[in-house]
Amino acid sequence: MAGRFAPSPTGDLHVGNLRTALGAMLLARSGGRGFLLRVEDLDHVAASEHHEARQLDDLARIGVRGDDEPVRQSDRLHRHLEVVAELRDRDLLYPCYCTRREIREEIEAAASAPNGPAPPDAYPGTCRHLTRDERSRLERDGRRPAWRLRADDEQISFVDGIAGERTGRVDDFVVVRADGVPAYQLAVVIDDADAGIDQVARGDDLIPSTWRQIRLHQLLGLDSPEYWHLPLVVAADGRRLAKRDGAISLRDIVSAEVTVEQVVAALLTSLGMDADAIVGGDPSAPGWASAQAQRFDPSSFGSEPVVIDDLRASWG
């Protein structure tokens, strides 16, 4: 049994990412689980070893470490492709030649149709029933297909540790991108299953992905982990955090003469810990995380977004 935190090394982690990492670690360790770090580096364009090193360093500074060395998703490409081959053999995949623009336009058209709106971002099934001749013509035109799962429009429900019961319809989602690289939805399911991950704590912006991942669990005969989706840290107007919101990475915050200990204390308080229960000292020191986890109560997680200005006020 284990939990995990799995960042993508495409830039510095901001305080919202760090908060989620702390929450995931404390949730796992307070329940007697192991804890793993996984580097989700399948985006060969944006991901880099430089970003990976900075992210792992920032995580270590706030006390977030795995039981073993981090696993790189890119090192498991052969395993992902084994599962892709299995799904193809079972006729559960089909090629999709649509561009993002074409999908967006078709979704917008469906939303204005008299039969009612389609779910946001749901793939409309354009390529699901293409004939062999139609596929050949598209490929002669230079189209390279992604591969989508035949999800059969299943309705999936799960009970989240924070958000409660959630139900959604699963569209035919991409499991292999047009460049031949396994997509996030497939890779994360296989990596979690192979690592014995039975608890997933992450940002609540990933709730829509959960229905898709559970559908893959079903088709592959895998048990689904328990899910805890933490509310995000947002700007004052509710936007996702961005560089224009000022110092939001650990390095920028510390350069403004705020200590790592102050930042961690503010993040732990935002996770529902009582100030008197927070273990002081250097978060990177051996034993700090275990001592913190002993005082952590998962029922203290809040269900509302955290505003960055409130965090700043608490460490200022």
CATH number of the domain where residue 118 is located: 3.90.800.10
Instruction: Supply the pLDDT for residue 311.
Output: 94
CA distance 293 to 276: 14
Residue 224: inside a domain, yes or no? no
**For residue 118, what are the CA distances in angstroms to 95, 115, 151?**
22, 9, 16
Note whether residue 94 is domain-resident: yes
Task: Look up the pTM and report it.
Answer: 0.93
- Are residue 91 and residue 157 in the same domain, yes or no? yes
Number of domains in the chain: 2
Amino acid at 306: V
Domain enclosing residue 51, as ranges? 2-69+231-315
Q: Going by C-beta distance under 8 Å and a sequence separation of 6 or more, which residues neighbour residue 126?
A: 96, 98, 102, 103, 106
Which residues lie closer than 8 Å to 142 by C-beta, 6 or more apart?
Answer: none
Q: Which of 1, 14, 35 is nearest to 289 (CA)?
A: 35
Of residues 73, 59, 71, 72, the one with CA closest to residue 25: 59
The reply to whether 190 falls in a domain is: no
Q: What is the CATH number of the domain that holds 280?
A: 3.40.50.620
Over residues 115-141, the pLDDT tens digits come to 444 456 789 899 999 999 999 999 999
Q: Are residues 101 and 167 in the same domain?
A: yes
49 and 118 together in one domain: no
Whether 209 is covered by a domain: the verdict is no
The answer to whether residues 305 and 236 belong to one domain is yes
Which phi and psi (to 5°) does residue 203 adopt?
Answer: -70, 150
Name the more confident of 288 and 110: 288
Residue 56 lies in a domain: yes
Q: Would residue 226 count as lying in a domain?
A: no
The reply to whether 74 falls in a domain is no
Segment 241-254, tens digit of pLDDT: 988 888 899 999 99
